[in-house]
Structure 1
Amino acid sequence: MLKLSIMSEEELTHIFGDLDSYIPLHEEFLAKLGEATRADGTVGQIGHILINWLPRLNAYKEYCSNQLAAKALLDQKKLDRRVQDFLQRCIESPFSRKLDLWSFLDIPRSRLVKYPLLLKEILRHTPKDHLDTKSLEEALCLIQGVLADINLKKGESECQYYVDKLEYLDDKQRDLRIESSKALLCHGELKNKNGHKLYLFLFQDVLVLTRPVTRNERHYFQVYRQPIPVQELVLEDLQDGDVRMGGSFRGAFSNSDKEQKDLPDLSEECEENQPPVTNVKDPRRSSTVSGIVEMDLEENELNSTLNAGGDIKDGKTQCSQKEMQKLDKAQQGLKRKETLV
């Protein structure tokens, strides 16, 4: 891709990382296993080799923590027809086994998480009184610690990635708890039956509601209203299949004077101009009542006009020309009100 000038060296480094630097690491492990292998293909002890080698897998911290940004850049570059055509040709070639590029770039991460499973399986087939049992148990603890460190670094990187993607419409929305966040507990899209969408980020100390926006083929998240500290949230664990309707995005996540905010009502409206309400049915009922009141007023005006102008007998009225014009206007107003209702 560099020779074809469809990606810059900086972009390729960002996507592929420093994969070549990991090759010697695995070649060394392979050599150690070869030395420990007997003529019949068996290995007497492997625990001590693993104890010395597994900590070196911490080298994958940077690669794994960069995966989110690398995937985003790769997806963006795929919008270029030249890149898209090149990658499609690679998929169709025998060497790719019909796998796309990301399938290969994700292999290091997917292999790392399999080491604990591999060691547990070796332990399962190792007698408890075997000399290697204790070393294998220690190696298992080591790899679990390595993976925990990698996951922590990866989580911090993912958190920072999304923090950098936030856009503020007002400086008052900025919150130091967002900037100092080291963990993103969960994130995802909220959508109600009317199709209104918000994207939620639950950081370690604050909840942020956003609207996804695209600018120059780059994705950002526009902060919606004020972020809400987690101390002011109430989390209700709903049972499987339990659905709560009623309330609204604006009502459920408003940052008012209330000391607590409820999280179960995640599936209602989020329009900018809609005031916060506790029950979406109330405004509709008020609107209907208002329409009826206005209609009654028009009918009263009509009756008073008729009474003032004269009586109606056998389809004939005894009214002056001005009164008839006033009557016509009142009737037209009544028809409009009936249409609105």
Structure 2
Amino acid sequence: NDDEIPTGVFATLGQCYSPRCTAKNQCYSPICSRLPGQVSLEKHPRIFLSQANKKRRREIRPIYRKERLWVVSVTKEIFDNTSTEDRKRQENIFELIYTENDFVDDLNYLQTYWITKILDIDYGTEESRKNLVNDLFSNIMEIYDINSKLAADLSKRQGESPVVNRIGDVMLKHVTNFEPFVKYGSQQMISKYKLETEKAISPIFSKFVEDTERLPESRKLELNGYLTKPTTRLGRYNLLLREILKHTPKDHPDQVDIPQAMTIIAGFLSKVNEEAGKKENEFNLEMLNEKFSLKYADDLQELELRSEERRMIMKGSLKRKGTGPESSDMQVYLLDNCLFITKQKYVQNIEQYKIYKKPIPLALLVIFLPDQAKKIPSILPYGRSSTGGSVTTNNIEVPAPTNNKSGYPIVFVHLGRQGFGQITLYANTLLARRQWVHKIEHQRLALTEKQKVFDIIPISERFFNSLNRVNCATTYGSSTLIGSDQGVYLKKEKKEDEPVRVLEMDKVSQIEILDGYNLVLVLADKILYTYSLDALLSHDTGVKRGRKISNHVSFFKFGEVIEKTLVCLVRYNAMTSTIRALEPHANPEPKKKMKPHLGIFLRGSTEGLKAYKDLYIPGEATSLQYFKNIICVGSAKGFQMVNIGSARVQSVLDPSDESHDFILQRESLRPISMFRHPDGTILLCYNEIAFYIDKKGRRVRSGWMINWEGAPTAFAFRFPYVIGFDPKFIEVRHMDTGKLVQVIPGTNIRCLNPDPIDIIHCVTEDRLLGCELVFELKFVGT
């Protein structure tokens, strides 16, 4: 017989399940059989049953504590006259009201047994006790004032009728005052930390907490459990209201009021999460700052942990494998701007951190997974679909794949001259490693987009390779002339067009088009040639012959000085460099100016170059810049200026300026480029540093200096930015602040036109594809 089958347990008939529950010390369970007033079998000899249909289903009326269910708070007549759907609604309303009363009672308990007692105990000073209460309980009594009024109005509405008709208006009246929940929720982490810290350092407070938590009024719930009740209560409101709404008739006023109240509550919940996130971030950074030992002050200043913009993205433990003391857990922190690795240590039982490696700016961070090296694409300038972010194997010696018994390896690489190289750390699980890689990549890309100054515009992606390396490039109209190991190529603007070779010759290192003279200068295998532009770019299939200008040419530079257009070619011989200045001359018959485009050229030009003057400087010249009345040359002796008229050579730097003395002490410095600032000062760019001088060669902006992250071999200028080209990355810095604003990593990066100030052509290698990518750095917004 189905009626004979047990369907539940009637707890009041048995002994309490808690081993600590006795007749004198009852437990906290609401259905404990020893609690006074508990339901007994004598008072309720049978359970109310109703056979609703022939299938002998039972509608069992649960029996718990009287105040916990609406069904036991009303008479049988009311219950029978209430529809099934409304019964569910009344139960949900009943739950909302009694849980609100419980919540207010809990807040009152905190006031009575904790806040008041802490202020009265013999512990510390009165001010310190007030501060402790404020840290632990924040504005919890503001919430008590608001919710006690809400509980009173809900109880009043419940007292008006056993069947509550409307509840949404009461909620809507009070939820607009829930702003104190936001402040309280944001302080939760601080409250928890303060409680644990105070218990650890004060035996008196620890004993007070232990004794109070054992009181019957505490219901054996720890203080932390009560401190979280306001935030959990705010989140529970919409769950309760949603159930009420589910069983509310469509034309009922609550169908309007409850959704409005839920929207307001959801807004406060969103604010709580936002403010709690901010406070948690601020708190974590503050705790981290306090745990660093003082000898790492310089690194702390670089991290800017107290900056309002600083955010902690992720933190966790990774292992460093090794022998002896080198094998240990490392605490790794990912901030919004950098990643750094620390080691934990204890000084007089106080936890401290020491920075294990120099913090890595995210722009200079590269990571790769050695056990997946073959699957990871190379790093190329972002903007290409084939790029793989910063997960790369380029420029890095990839360790042999490791077995996963020792963990899942991540190799962190700090790019640049000031970086520490690379370090391999191990995550305990594959999931942990994925989280680290994802967080680092996501934040690095977000930072890149935020700080991006230059876009990458591909010119040629897979045509050139290691057998035909690109060495130089220049612009002609909307097309590009590219010089490589096998000749000169013309690349039209259309992306689908492959470069076409227009001149076959070996080792082309420089190309320059002389506007207005119909000339192209080509330096190939240290021999300088001139070609007629129209002949070079014509569609004739015959051999295109140029005029040989000079042998043993290291490089040349085209520009204007003393109101003359000159081509200066540099030849190094023994201990001196000869700078031969040539002046382009045009056909005396004037030509009609035409917009340059392919297919329209004048034939039979007699244009060429004529000698102007020879200049001599000591040492090997490596760079040359044009100014109004002089040319400046970079050499092993530093920056030197040459007067075109008198041929006099002197140092750019004023030898009487003592602030230049440090340059003599740095033998590794190599002068490369000079750029004029709009304010008249001149930026001197060396391979390690950059600083400003005035027209007389004296140092200006004392204390201001750029220390390049890499070791640039070339520079470009696009006000207000100066761009340095290291073989492993391009760094872009602001000329006024010197701040690093963008880094573009790559492999064997080269600038293809010396000291550009307008269009910047570059090339980098893609080792996995075995080709070279020619691209243009385009200023964002142009």
TM range (shorter): 0.5 to 0.7
Superposition deviation, residue 162 in structure 1: 1.4
| 1:68 aligned partner | 189
TM-score (normalizing by structure 1): 0.63
Pick from 93, 97, 101 the counterpart of residue 215 of structure 2.
93
| 1:16 aligned partner | 137
Q: Secondary structure at the match of 1:56?
A: coil
Distance 1:187 1:246, change over 3 A: closer
Let me know the Cα RMSD of the aligned residues.
3.7
| 1:283 aligned partner | none
Q: Give deviations 1:147-202, integer Å, cap 9, x for gaps.
A: 11011111111111111122371524523587234654443333467872233344
Superposition deviation, residue 121 in structure 1: 1.6
In the alignment, the residues of structure 1 paired with residue 272 and residue 357 of structure 2 have an alpha-carbon distance, to the nearest angstrom, of: 34
In the alignment, the residues of structure 1 paired with residue 185 and residue 151 of structure 2 have an alpha-carbon distance, to the nearest angstrom, of: 22
Alignment of 1:85-124 (within 5 A): 85-124=207-246
Distance 1:150 1:256, change over 3 A: same
TM-score (normalizing by structure 2): 0.30
Q: Secondary structure at the match of 1:113?
A: helix
Equivalent AA in structure 2 for residue 171 of structure 1: D
| 2:120 aligned partner | 3
Q: Give deviations 1:262-311, integer Å, cap 9, x for gaps.
A: 9x96428xxxxxxxxxxxxxxxxxxxxxxxxxxxxxxxxxxxxxxxxxxx
Alignment of 1:187-198 (within 5 A): 187-191=315-319, 196-198=328-330
2:308 is the alignment partner of 1:180: yes
In the alignment, the residues of structure 2 paired with residue 235 and residue 138 of structure 1 have an alpha-carbon distance, to the nearest angstrom, of: 51
Structure 2 residue runs without a partner (length 5+): 1-117, 373-403, 429-782
Equivalent AA in structure 1 for residue 198 of structure 2: K
Equivalent AA in structure 2 for residue 5 of structure 1: D
Distance 1:207 1:143, change over 3 A: farther
Superposition deviation, residue 203 in structure 1: 3.8
Superposition deviation, residue 213 in structure 1: 5.0
- Report which structure shows greater RCO (CA 8 Å, sep ≥6): 1
Equivalent AA in structure 2 for residue 51 of structure 1: L
Alignment of 1:79-228 (within 5 A): 79=200, 80-165=202-287, 166=289, 167=292, 169-172=296-299, 174-176=302-304, 179-181=307-309, 183-191=311-319, 196-213=328-345, 221-228=353-360
- Whichever structure has more strand as a proportion of its residues is 2
Confirm or deny: 8 A CA contact 1:181 1:203 kept in the other structure.
Answer: no
Equivalent AA in structure 2 for residue 196 of structure 1: S
Confirm or deny: 8 A CA contact 1:207 1:228 kept in the other structure.
Answer: yes
| 2:414 aligned partner | 255
| 1:46 aligned partner | 167
Equivalent AA in structure 2 for residue 74 of structure 1: L
Alignment of 1:236-255 (within 5 A): 245=407, 247=409, 251-252=411-412, 254-255=413-414
Q: Secondary structure at the match of 2:150?
A: helix
Confirm or deny: 8 A CA contact 1:178 1:205 kept in the other structure.
Answer: no
Superposition deviation, residue 72 in structure 1: 1.5
Confirm or deny: 8 A CA contact 1:177 1:205 kept in the other structure.
Answer: no
Alignment of 1:278-317 (within 5 A): none
In the alignment, the residues of structure 1 paired with residue 265 and residue 362 of structure 2 have an alpha-carbon distance, to the nearest angstrom, of: 33
Equivalent AA in structure 2 for residue 190 of structure 1: L
Equivalent AA in structure 1 for residue 217 of structure 2: F
In the alignment, the residues of structure 2 paired with residue 26 and residue 99 of structure 1 have an alpha-carbon distance, to the nearest angstrom, of: 21
Distance 1:220 1:50, change over 3 A: farther
Q: Give deviations 1:285-340, integer Å, cap 9, x for gaps.
A: xxxxxxxxxxxxxxxxxxxxxxxxxxxxxxxxxxxxxxxxxxxxxxxxxxxxxxxx
Structure 1 residue runs without a partner (length 5+): 269-341
Q: Secondary structure at the match of 1:189?
A: strand
In the alignment, the residues of structure 2 paired with residue 32 and residue 214 of structure 1 have an alpha-carbon distance, to the nearest angstrom, of: 55
- Kindly name which structure, 1 or 2, has the bigger radius of gyration based on alpha carbons: 2
Superposition deviation, residue 125 in structure 1: 1.8
In the alignment, the residues of structure 1 paired with residue 177 and residue 368 of structure 2 have an alpha-carbon distance, to the nearest angstrom, of: 41
Equivalent AA in structure 1 for residue 168 of structure 2: G
Superposition deviation, residue 61 in structure 1: 2.2
Confirm or deny: 8 A CA contact 1:212 1:220 kept in the other structure.
Answer: yes
In the alignment, the residues of structure 2 paired with residue 42 and residue 233 of structure 1 have an alpha-carbon distance, to the nearest angstrom, of: 67
Q: Secondary structure at the match of 1:82?
A: helix
Confirm or deny: 8 A CA contact 2:333 2:340 kept in the other structure.
Answer: yes
Q: Which moved more, 1:150-159 or 1:218-227?
A: 218-227
Distance 1:220 1:46, change over 3 A: farther
Q: Secondary structure at the match of 1:45?
A: coil
Identity, % of aligned positions: 23
In the alignment, the residues of structure 1 paired with residue 350 and residue 238 of structure 2 have an alpha-carbon distance, to the nearest angstrom, of: 38
In the alignment, the residues of structure 2 paired with residue 118 and residue 146 of structure 1 have an alpha-carbon distance, to the nearest angstrom, of: 16
Superposition deviation, residue 212 in structure 1: 4.2
Superposition deviation, residue 114 in structure 1: 1.3
Confirm or deny: 8 A CA contact 1:58 1:146 kept in the other structure.
Answer: yes
